[in-house]
C-alpha cells in the first residue's frame, strides 16, 4: 500500500472481513485458525448492523464491541471461554488490515521479507557497523538486522524505495503495525530501528535524522514479577528425573546448574570442561550476556551430577563443551538451541501443575534461586554476585516477588568435600 498516493475508497466492514479472510488463506493459516477469526469477525459484523453502523471499520466500534461482550485486556485469557479467547487478537489483526491493507503471521521468517533492492546494501553495511564499531555479540547483531528487516519490508510494502521518501507517518505506522507483538518486543524493535535511522543519517543515506520521529515505546524493566517455583514442586521435578538414563543424567546436571547455581541457559550451553576446577571446587567462566567473569562454588550435589554425566554419558570427543545432544551425530548445543524443553519434559512426567499461570523454562529456575536467597535474607550485593548481574537494578526486581514458601532453600556457600577429579 502506498501511503503517499491518493487514498482509495475504504472498504465496508463486510468487504474488509471478506478480504481479511482471504489474506488468512494466502498466509496459509490452518482451517481451525481461520474459523476462529471468522467467528470473531462475524460477530463484529452482526454487532455493527445492530448498532446501525455503516461504512468502514472504526476503532470505537471495536471498543464498543469488546465492552458489550465484557472482554477486558486485564482479564487473563484463560478466564475467557470459546471465541472470546481470540477476540482481542483477532480484532487487532482486522484493525491492522483496515489501516495497512495487510497483516503478517505472529512470526515472520527473514527469508520471506521483501526488502527493496535499493535498501539491501544498507542492511549489510549496518550489520558490519554493529559488529566492527559497536562490538555487539553475534546474537545481538542478528536480532538488530532481523528487526531492521521488518522495517524495510514494511517500507517496501508502502512503495517506499528511497530513504528520503520516508515520512514520520511511515515511522508511526510501522510501530503500530507491530501491535501483534508484546510490548517488550516492540520496544526492542523500535530501539534497533532508531539506531538504524541514525546510521542512515551519519552515512549520508538520509538527508535528516529521523530517529527522533520514531515513537518511543516504554517497556518498564520491573513491569512483571519473575516466575518462581514452589519449593515442593521443584523437589518434585528433580525427584522425577530418571538419573539412570542418559537423558536423565544430562538433564539433571543441567537443571541443577540452573536452580542451585543460577547459571543462565546460554552459559550452560557454552560451559566447557576447562571452566571446572575440581580441586578448587569452583566453576569459572565469562558470561555470554554481560561479558563479565563469574566464579561459582561447585557444590557436592552439582559436582556429583556433572561427574555422573561426564563419565557415563558424554561422548568421547576433542570438543571441550560439557553438554551434548543425545542422538547421533553427537554435538554440543548450538547458541540458538532452546533448553526449555528439558524442564517441560520432566514437568509433564512429574504431573506438575501450577496454581496460577507462570513461566517454567530454565530461567524460571534462576529466578527461583534468587527469590530463595532474598527470602533467606542474603544481601542484594551477594545475590548480584552469585547471579552475575552487571547492575544491582537487575537484582532489585526480585524484591517484588513474595515467596514465603521458599524460605527454606538457599545456595550453600560453605566449604564442601572435594570432588574426585575426573
Give me the active site residues, please: 264, 289, 363, 366, 389, 398
SS3 178: coil
| DSSP H or E stretch at residue 386 | helix 380-387
| 254/241 Cα distance (integer angstroms) | 12
Residue 160 in grid coordinates: 517506499
Q: Which residue has the cell 551477594?
A: 382
| 381/395 Cα distance (integer angstroms) | 8
Neighbours of 330 (CB within 10 A): 14
Q: Where are the beta strands (DSSP E) in 263-305?
A: 276-277, 282-286, 293-297
| 27/217 Cα distance (integer angstroms) | 28
Q: Which residue has the cell 501491535?
A: 179
Residue 309 in grid coordinates: 554425566
User: Could you give the count of Cα atoms lying within 13 Å of 260 in the half-sphere of its Cβ?
Assistant: 21
Cα separation values, 297 from 222, 266, 280, 373, Å: 29, 19, 9, 15
Q: Smallest Cα–Cα separation from 229: which of 194, 258, 265, 269? A: 258
Amino acid at each position: 500500500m502506498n501511503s503517499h498516493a491518493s487514498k482509495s475508497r475504504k472498504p465496508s466492514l463486510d468487504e474488509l472481513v471478506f478480504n481479511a479472510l482471504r489474506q488468512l488463506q494466502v498466509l496459509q493459516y490452518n482451517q481451525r485458525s481461520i474459523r476462529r477469526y471468522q467467528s470473531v469477525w462475524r460477530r463484529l459484523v452482526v454487532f455493527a448492523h445492530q448498532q446501525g453502523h455503516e461504512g468502514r471499520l472504526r476503532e470505537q466500534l471495536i471498543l464498543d464491541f469488546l465492552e458489550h461482550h465484557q472482554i477486558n485486556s486485564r482479564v487473563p485469557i484463560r478466564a475467557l471461554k470459546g471465541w472470546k479467547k481470540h477476540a482481542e487478537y483477532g480484532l487487532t489483526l482486522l484493525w491492522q488490515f483496515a489501516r495497512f491493507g495487510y497483516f503478517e503471521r505472529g512470526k515472520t521468517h527473514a527469508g520471506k521479507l521483501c526488502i527493496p533492492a535499493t535498501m539491501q546494501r544498507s542492511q549489510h553495511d549496518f550489520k558490519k557497523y554493529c559488529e566492527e564499531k559497536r562490538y555487539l555479540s553475534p546474537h545481538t547483531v542478528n536480532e538488530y538486522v532481523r528487526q531492521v528487516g521488518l522495517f524495510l519490508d514494511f517500507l517496501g510494502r508502502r512503495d517506499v524505495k528511497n530513504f528520503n521518501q520516508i515520512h514520520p507517518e511511515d515511522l508511526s505506522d510501522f510501530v503500530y503495525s507491530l501491535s501483534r507483538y508484546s510490548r517488550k518486543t516492540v520496544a526492542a524493535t523500535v530501539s534497533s530501528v532508531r539506531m538504524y535511522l541514525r546510521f542512515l543519517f551519519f552515512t549520508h543515506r538520509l538527508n535528516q535524522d529521523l530517529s527522533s520521529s520514531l515513537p518511543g515505546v516504554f517497556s518498564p524493566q520491573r513491569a512483571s514479577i519473575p516466575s518462581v517455583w514452589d519449593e515442593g514442586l521443584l523437589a518434585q521435578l528433580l525427584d522425577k528425573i530418571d538419573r539412570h538414563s542418559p537423558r536423565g543424567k544430562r538433564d539433571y546436571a543441567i537443571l541443577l546448574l540452573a536452580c542451585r547455581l543460577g547459571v543462565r541457559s546460554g552459559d550452560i550451553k557454552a560451559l566447557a570442561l576447562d571452566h571446572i576446577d575440581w580441586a578448587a571446587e569452583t566453576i569459572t567462566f565469562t558470561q555470554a550476556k554481560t561479558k563479565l567473569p563469574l566464579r561459582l562454588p561447585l557444590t557436592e550435589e552439582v559436582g556429583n551430577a556433572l561427574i555422573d554425566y561426564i563419565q557415563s554419558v558424554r561422548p568421547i570427543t576433542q570438543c571441550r563443551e560439557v553438554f551434548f545432544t543425545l542422538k547421533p551425530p553427537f554435538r554440543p548445543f548450538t547458541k540458538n538451541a532452546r533448553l526449555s524443553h528439558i524442564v517441560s519434559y520432566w514437568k509433564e512426567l512429574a504431573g506438575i501443575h501450577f496454581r496460577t499461570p507462570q513461566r517454567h523454562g530454565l530461567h524460571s529456575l534462576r529466578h527461583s534461586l534468587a527469590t530463595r536467597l532474598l527470602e533467606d535474607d542474603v544481601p542484594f550485593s551477594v545475590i548480584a554476585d552469585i547471579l552475575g548481574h552487571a547492575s544491582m537494578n537487575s537484582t532489585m526486581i526480585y524484591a517484588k516477588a513474595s515467596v514465603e514458601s521458599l524460605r527454606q532453600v538457599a545456595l550453600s556457600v560453605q566449604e564442601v568435600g572435594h570432588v574426585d577429579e575426573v
